[in-house]
Amino acid sequence: MPTEHLGLFSTLVVSLVAAFTGGLAVRTLKLPPLLGYILAGVMIGPFTPGLIANQAIASELAEIGVALLLFNIGLHFSFQDLLSIRKIALPGALIQVILTTAGGAFLANHMMDMSLGASLVIGLSLAIASTAVATRVFEEHKQTAALAGRIALGWLVVQDVIVIIALVLLPVLGNESNVDTQHFLKAFGKTLLQVTGFAAVMIVAGRRAIPALLRYVARIGSRELFTLAVIVVALGIAYGSSVLFGVSLAMGAFFAGVVIGESDFNYHAASEALSMQQIFTILFFVSVGMLFDPRIIMDMPLEIITFLATVILGTGVLTFAFLVYMDVPLRTAGLVGGAFAQIGEFSFVLSEIGFKESLFEAQERDLIMAVAFLSILINPLLLALAMRTARWAKETPLLTQWRDHRIEKNLPEAHLLNNHVILVGHGRVGGVVAKALREQNVTYVIIESNRSLAEKLRRDGQHVIYGDATREAVCGAAVPQQAKLMIIAVQDELYTKQAVRQAYKLNPNIDIVVRTHSDKEARALNKLGVGFAVMGEREIGFGMATYALFRLDLSPEHALETIARIRENVYGLDKVTE
**At 65, which CATH number?**
1.20.1530.20
Distance CA 444, CA 434 (A): 8
For the chain, the average pLDDT equals 82
Answer yes or no: do 317 and 463 share one domain. no
* Predicted local distance difference test score (pLDDT) of residue 5: 56
Q: Are residues 284 and 366 in the same domain?
A: yes
307 band by pLDDT with thresholds 50, 70 and 90:
very high
Cα–Cα distance for residue pair 359/166, rounded to 1 Å? 13
Residue 517: give the domain boundaries. 421-573
Task: Name the helix (H) or strand (E) containing 191.
Answer: helix 181-201
Mark whether 208 and 145 lie in a shared domain. yes
Least confidently predicted of 60-64, 251-255, 381-385, 405-409 = 405-409
Inside any domain, residue 549: yes
Tell me the pLDDT tens digit for each residue of 326-341.
Answer: 888 888 889 999 999 9
Clarify whether residues 474 and 337 are in a common domain.
no
Tally of domains within the chain: 2
Average pLDDT over residues 459-486: 88
Does some domain include residue 411? no
Tell me: pLDDT of 219 over 70.
yes
184 pLDDT band, cuts 50/70/90, is low
- d(Cα 238, Cα 354) in Å, to the nearest integer? 20
CA angle 379, 380, 385 (to 5 degrees): 90
First CA to last CA across the chain, in angstroms?
A: 54
Is the separation of the CB atoms in 41 and 18 below 8 Å?
yes
Question: Does 396 map to a domain?
Answer: no
Which of 391, 407, 432 is the last residue in one of the domains?
Answer: 391
What's the pLDDT at 578?
Answer: 41
C-beta separation of 341 from 278 below 8 A: no
Task: Report if residue 416 sits inside a domain.
Answer: no
Q: What is the pLDDT of residue 181?
A: 64
Instruction: Tell me, yes or no, whether 443 and 365 share the same domain.
Output: no
Residue 108 inside a domain? The answer is yes
Residue 123 has pLDDT above 90, yes or no: yes
| 8 A C-beta contact, residue 75 and residue 25 | no
With 50 as the cut, is the pLDDT of residue 407 above it? Answer: no
Domain assignment present for 403: no
Name the domain boundary from 343, 372, 391. Answer: 391
Distance CA 167, CA 418 (A): 40
The segment with the largest mean pLDDT, out of 20-29, 353-362, 490-499, is 20-29
Examine the domain organization and report whether 492 and 563 are in the same domain: yes
- Residue 385: predicted pLDDT: 92
Residue 414 lies inside a defined structural domain of this protein: no
Q: Are residues 105 and 7 in the same domain?
A: yes
Rounded mean pLDDT of 308-322? 93
Are residue 431 and residue 306 in the same domain, yes or no?
no
Same domain, 444 and 356: no
Please check whether residues 339 and 457 belong to one and the same domain.
no
CATH for 535: 3.40.50.720
Residue % of the chain over a pLDDT of 90: 17
State mean pLDDT over 472-484: 87
399 or 534: which carries more pLDDT confidence? 534
Q: pLDDT per residue over 537-573, tens digit each?
A: 777 888 888 888 888 878 878 888 888 888 777 766 4
Average pLDDT rounded to a whole number, residues 451-471: 89
* pLDDT for res 176: 52
Q: Are residues 363 and 425 in the same domain?
A: no
Check whether residue 504 and residue 554 sit in a common domain: yes
**Overall pTM > 0.75:** no
Domain presence at residue 147: yes
The predicted pLDDT at position 288 comes to 79
**pLDDT at residue number 128:** 92
